[in-house]
Amino acid sequence: MHTLAVDIGGTKVAVGVCDENDTIVRSWTVPTENDADRINETIAGLYEKALESFDDIAAIGVSAAGNVKQDRRTVNFSANIPAWINYDLSGHIEDLLSKKVPVVVENDANCAGWGEYVHGAGKGSTNMVMLTVGTGLGGAIVLNGELYRGSFGMAAELGHLPMVPDGDTCGCGLRGCAERYVSGSALERFAKAAIRRRPKDATRLMELCNGNVEDLRGPMISRAAQEGDVLGLYAFNKIGEWLGRTMAAISAVLDPDLYVIGGGVIAVGDILLEPARQAYDRFLQASAYRPHAQIVAAQAGQDAGMIGAANLSVR
C-alpha cells in the first residue's frame, strides 16, 4: 500500500508517494498561483501521474495552511488562498480523480508536528508540543499519543497566544501575539533595531546584507550568530527568551513532557534553545518543584509535513 502526501505551499504544490513506513519514494514539485481551482487541478494531475507507477495508492493526505474543520475535509479560512472560506477542499479534489480515494486534509503545522511525533524527535513522548519557528509561529499538540484538534478543529494556533497586552499588531489582526516575538520576522526586527541602536557593533551584519539593513534576512543573522557576532546573538537571545515565555504559558495549560522546536531558524541549535530553556525555567509556574519538559530541536527535517500528512491520511 502507498499513500500520496500533498504539501500546498505559498508558491508551489509538492507531492510525494509514501510507502507503509511513510518514507517518500517518489516526489514532484510544481509551481502554482494562489488559486483554488488551479491547486485542485495540479493535485489531481500529479495523482494521475503517480498512478502510472503506483496502482495501490489508498489515500491522499493534504497539508494546508489554514484552519481545517474537525471533519478533516473543510478549510474554514486561509490567509493565503482567498477562495478557501468554508471550502470543501477534499470534495473539490475528489471530484477530479479518475480512481476515487479519500482525501484527508490537515493543518500544515499539525502535519509537521505529527510527522515529528511518529518519525522524529517526538518518538516515545506522551504529551508533545511542537513549535515551528518560520515566517510566523506554528503549533501542534499531541495529547496521550493522539493529535489534538480541539472541538472545532481550531486547536494549537499557538503563534496567536496573546503574550503582550496591546502589543505589536499581528497578521491575524489581534495584538501582542506570540509570533510577533518568536518567528523569523521577529528575529529580523530585533536585529534591525539593534543595528540602529548600536551601529558600531553592526559591522558583520552590515557586511552580510551588503550595507542595506532592509535586505537583512534570517539566514544572515543565523550565520553571524554562529560566528559569535554580538548583535546576531542578541537577536537570537530575544526570540529565545520569548520562546521560553511562550512555552511556560503553554505548560500552565497542557503540562507536556516534550517541546520540539522546528523551522528554519533551528539550524542554529543551542544558540536558540539555550536562552529558550533559561526563560522557560524562569517563567514556569512552581519551576523549582516540578519536572521540566525537555526542549529539543526537530529531527524529521523539511519533509516532516509530508510524512505527517501521509501518516494521518490512513489513520
Chain residues binding Zn ion by CB under 5 A are 160, 170, 172, 174, 177
CA distance 128 to 122: 7
* Closer to Zn ion by Cβ: residue 1 or 174: 174
Residue 84, φ and ψ in degrees, nearest 5: -80, 70
153 CB neighbour count, 10 Å cutoff: 20
* Closer to Zn ion by Cβ: residue 13 or 109: 109
Q: How far is the CB of 172 from Zn ion (least distance, A)?
A: 3
> Which amino acid, one-letter code, is at 220?
M
Cell reading at 306: 509530508
Q: How far is the CB of 169 from Zn ion (least distance, A)?
A: 9
Q: How far is the CB of 120 from Zn ion (least distance, A)?
A: 26
Taking alpha carbons only, the member of 201, 200, 202, 197 closest to residue 216 is 202
Specify the pairing of strand 137-143 against strand 2-8: unpaired
CA distance 302 to 237: 24
Ramachandran assignment for 54, one of left (phi > 0), alpha (psi -120 to 50 degrees), beta (any other): beta
> Which amino acid, one-letter code, is at 93?
I
Q: How far is the CB of 95 from Zn ion (least distance, A)?
A: 34
Indicate the SS3 state at residue 38.
helix
253 CB neighbour count, 10 Å cutoff: 10
* Closer to Zn ion by Cβ: residue 170 or 186: 170
Q: How far is the CB of 136 from Zn ion (least distance, A)?
A: 8
The owner of cell 516526489 is: 27
Indicate the SS3 state at residue 70.
coil
Q: How far is the CB of 67 from Zn ion (least distance, A)?
A: 13
Q: How far is the CB of 54 from Zn ion (least distance, A)?
A: 40
Which letter does DSSP use for residue 147 in this model? E
* Closer to Zn ion by Cβ: residue 36 or 172: 172
Q: How far is the CB of 156 from Zn ion (least distance, A)?
A: 14
Q: Which sign, positive or negative, has the C-alpha torsion 234, 203, 220, 135?
A: positive
CA distance 149 to 154: 6
